Structure formats: C-alpha cells, structure tokens
Amino acid sequence: MMNPSKIDEDGVQYSIGKFDGKNVVYDFPKILVYLGAKGRILFGKDFKIIEKDHEIIFKLCNYFIRDKEKCAQNDIDPDKGILLTGPVGCGKTSLMRLLKHLVPLQRPYRVIPARNIVFGFNHIGYKTIEDYGDGQFFCFDDLGVEPIGRHYGKDCNVMGEVLLSRYELFLKTKIKTHATTNLKAKELEDMYGNRVRSRMRQLFNLVAFDKNANDKRK
C-alpha cells in the first residue's frame, strides 16, 4: 500500500508527516524541507523558501492537504479554487507549480499562461474557449494582463469567457480552477466586468501575498 506521507524525489525519500493507515498527520516543518528540495529540482539550485513566505505557504498547504479545520480558520473553502495574488516576482507561479506535488494522489492541474490561451484563440477562434471549459484541471497564470483576443476581425475578452465557462463547469461538476494575478480586485473588475468578477468570487478563494513582498527575480 502506498504511504502518502512519504514522497520520493531523485532517489531520496522525504517524510511530510505520519500515516496511520487511513489519514496523514502532516508536519509543516517537514513539508517545508520537501518543498525546498522539490523547488530546487524544478527551478534550479538557487531556489529557496524564505521565512517571510511561511504564513502564505502554510495557508496554501492546508488548502491542498484539505485540512478543513485550518482552512476554516483562514476563511478558505477547500472545495473552491485558489486565486493567488501579489506583486510581480513574489513567487506566485513557482508556488502554484510546486504545491501540486505535495499531494501526488490528487489529480494534478496544468499551469497555463493566460496570454497563451489568447494566442490560441487568435489562431483557432472559439474552440479555444470550449477546450478550456472542459473537465481538465487548470491554473491560469498571470490573469488580467493578457491582451484582448482577436479572431477574423472580432475582438473577444478571451479569459473573461473562459472564466464564465469554468464557472458553469464548477456548478455542474465541482471541478476547480486556480489562477495567479498581479491585479487587485478593482483592476480585475475593470478588465473582465462585474458579471465575471462576481463569478470569480464563487470560483476562487482569494489568497494574497503582502503588497510589499520582495521581487525574488532580482
């Protein structure tokens, strides 16, 4: 039987808690050790998790491991997706790419830049919106800074339409959608309109980095 409290990476086994045969009792300091190691595998030897980010990582870990009690304390609904916000370079995309590895038995999501979806629309049109409204799991990266789509001379707010499709999918199937953005709520509303913004509130838990979070790319 697979032990979900142990994860193997490059020949090394990492413990992220204790498994009693039914449930894992997770250990956050051990999770941080694992995430640091996996981050170096994914992003290079200079990757490190800084102490300032522990609080937000703790919230996100509780969400991904579905610790309902701790999620409730942080006003997070484990059945909704995550909208991770924060300034440019604070590490949103890296965290969303990293944290899906914490629960290897859960169905993984693909991290897709929002602008790539718009480029796809520009080439093949509305089928792109249909494709992203299907039963796959996605994290839309850099939401809100993508250009307006244009296909055969017609403009389309592609990601606004995709989010409406994902909302309909969520209502029917509870399939979640995640996203990252540098924008504030008002800026997202300006970009997508009030209707999409209200759907986003139902689709996502808002988890925010501090507005003064460091740009880790410098």
195 band by pLDDT with thresholds 50, 70 and 90: very high
Residue 193 amino acid letter: G
| Structure token digits, residue 16 | 């992220």
pLDDT at residue 216 is higher than 80: no
| CATH architecture of the domain with residue range 78-208 | 3-Layer(aba) Sandwich (3.40)
Helices 92-99 & 28-43, crossing angle to 10 degrees?
A: 110
As a whole number, mean pLDDT of residues 42-70 equals 95
Q: What is the pLDDT of residue 135?
A: 86
| Sequence-ordered list of residues with C-beta below 8 angstroms from that of 150, at least 6 positions apart, any chain | 122, 156
**Domain residue limits, the chain:** 78-208
User: Taking the alpha carbons of 128, 109, 165, 160 in that order, is the dihedral positive or negative?
Assistant: negative
Neighbours of 180 (CB within 10 A): 27
pLDDT tens per residue, range 106-117: 889 999 999 999
Q: What percent of the chain lies above the pLDDT cut of 90?
A: 84
Q: What percent of the chain lies above the pLDDT cut of 70?
A: 99
**Which residue shows structure tokens 């009792």?**
25
pLDDT at residue 1 is higher than 60: no
Q: What is the pLDDT of residue 21?
A: 86
As a whole number, mean pLDDT of residues 80-89 equals 95
Closest CA to 93 of 112, 65, 118: 112
